[in-house]
Structure 1
Amino acid sequence: MTAAERTVHFYVGTYASETEDSLFHCVLNAENGEMRLVSGLSGIENPSYLKTQAGRGTLYAASEKEDGEIFAYTIDPEAKELHLHDRKSSEGSSPCFVETTPDGNTLLAANYGGCVTAFSIRDRGVLRLESRVRHTGSGPNPQRQEGPHPHSFVPSPDGVFLFAPDLGTDRIAKYTREDELLFRQDDTVLPPGTGPRTLVFHPGGRWAYVSGELDNTVTAFHYEAQIGRLTPIQRAELLPEDRAADPANTAAHAAVSPCGRYVYVSNRGDDSIAQFAVDPEDGRLTFVERVPSEGRVPRHFAMTEGFLLAANQESGSIVSFSVNPEDGRLTPTGFALELNRPVCVCPLTE
Structure 2
Amino acid sequence: MTASAHNIHFYVGTYASEQEESLFHCILDTTSGEMHIVSGTVGIENPSYLTVSPNRQNLYVASEKANGELFSYSIDPENRELHLHDRKVSEGSSPCFVETTPDGKMLLAANYGGCVVALPIRDRGSLDQASRVRHTGSGPNKDRQEGPHPHAFVSSPEGTFLFAPDLGTDRIAKYTLEDELLFKQDDTELPQGTGPRTLAFHPSGNWAYVSGELDNTVTTFEYDGQSGRLRPSQRVLLLPEPQAADPANTAAHVAVSPCGGHVYVSNRGDDSLAHFAVNPENGQLTLVERVPSGGSVPRHFAIAGDCLLAANQESGSIVSFTINERDGRLTPTGFALELNRPVCVCPFPETKESESAAAETR
TM range (shorter): over 0.9
User: CA–CA distance in 2 between the matches of 1:254 and 1:67?
Assistant: 27
RMSD in angstroms over aligned alpha carbons? 0.8
Question: Which residue of structure 2 lines up, in the alignment, with residue 113 of structure 1?
Answer: 113
Aligned to 1:32: 32
Is the 8 Å Cα contact of residues 90 and 111 (structure 1) preserved in structure 2? yes
Shift of 1:186: 1.1
Tell me which residue corresponds to 2:177: 177
Question: Within 5 A, what are the aligned runs for 1:57-72?
Answer: 57-72=57-72
After TM superposition, give the deviation of residue 241 of structure 1 in Å.
2.6
One-letter identity of the residue aligned with 1:96: C
- 5+ residue gaps, structure 2, are 351-362
Equivalent residue of 2:129, what SS? strand
Give the 3-state SS of the residue equivalent to 2:169 in structure 1.
coil
What is the aligned partner in structure 2 of residue 223 from structure 1? 223
- Offset of 1:30 from its aligned partner? 1.5
TM-score by length of 1: 0.99
CA distance in 1, matches of 2:283, 2:17: 42
TM-score by length of 2: 0.96
CA offset digits 1:38-72 (Å, max 9, x no partner): 11001000000000113241000000000000000
Deviation track 1:211-265 (CA, whole Å, cap 9, x = no partner) reads 0000000000000000000000010000013322111100000000111001000
Alpha carbons 1:53, 1:349 under 8 Å: kept: no
* Structure 1 residues not aligned, in runs of 5+: none
Equivalent position of 1:49 in the other structure: 49
Superposed CA offset, 1:88-135 (max 9, x none): 000000000000001110000000000000000000000012410000
Pairwise CA distance, 1:79: 1.4
Name 1:88's counterpart in structure 2: 88
Match of 1:232 in 2: 232
Aligned to 1:205: 205
Tell me the alpha carbon deviations over residues 1-47 of structure 1, each in whole angstroms, 9 at most, x when there is no partner: 22245100000000000100000000000211100011100100000
Amino-acid identity (%):
75
CA–CA distance in structure 2, aligned partners of residues 331 and 338 of structure 1: 19
1:266 corresponds to 2:262: no
- Measure the CA separation in 2 of the matches of 1:175 and 1:55: 24
Cα separation, 2, equivalents of 1:20 and 1:297 = 22
> C-alpha separation between the residues in 1 aligned to 2:4 and 2:338?
25
Q: Deviations over 1:299-321 (max 9, x none)?
A: 00000111000000000000000
CA distance in 2, matches of 1:4, 1:63: 32
Instruction: Judge conservation of contact 1:5–1:31 (CA < 8 Å) in 2.
Output: no
1:153-212 deviation per Cα after TM superposition (whole angstroms, max 9, x unaligned): 000000000000000000000001111111101100000000000000000000000000
Equivalent residue pairs, number = 350
Please say if residues 11 and 348 of structure 1, whose CA atoms lie closer than 8 Å, have aligned partners that are also in contact.
yes
Q: What amino acid sits opposite 1:98 in the alignment?
A: V
Q: Match of 1:281?
A: 281
- 2:359 matched residue in structure 1: none
Alignment of 1:1-350 (within 5 A): 1-350=1-350
Letter matched to residue 47 of structure 2: P
1:129 is paired with a residue of what secondary structure? Answer: coil
